[in-house]
Amino acid sequence: MKNILILCTGNSCRSQIAHGYFAHFGKQNLKVYSAGIETHGVNPRAIATMADDGIDISDHTSNHVDEYLHIPFDYILTVCDHAQENCPYIPNQTALRIHHNFTDPSKLVSENEEEIKAAFAATRDEIKRFAHAFVEQHQIGV
């Protein structure tokens, strides 16, 4: 079993979506943790967009990275530039560090709910493709 930590700024949207897909594709071969350098709560639109693709993340919580400093990670993935630039030192880690700055749909300013849903779906699909390719490349699950 491999351990992966997915880091974002607030552990509310992109890292939660990634958590859902990494757990889905990694199956029993990957233990997934997601955290933020801050905690903002899980974004309801992230929950809804994942439900639209058949993945339930409604029981996820927004966690701070300090909660996981004792876990030996194999991979640490930052999903936004801010988290990469401000990621705290994680002791005793020989983890492979990966960075991919996914689009943040929660930053879209619009009164049009369909436009917002489309932004969340686009980010969801981008993360889904990345997670699937990652677990295949590293021969973890799929």
Catalytic residues: 8, 80, 87
Beta-strand (E) ranges in the chain?
A: 2-8, 30-36, 75-78, 96-99
Structure tokens given for 108: 């879209």
Which helix (H) or strand (E) segment holds residue 50: the answer is: helix 44-51
Q: Are 6 and 19 in contact (CB under 8 A)?
A: yes
User: What is the four-CA torsion angle of 80, 32, 139, 18, rounded to 10 degrees?
Assistant: -40
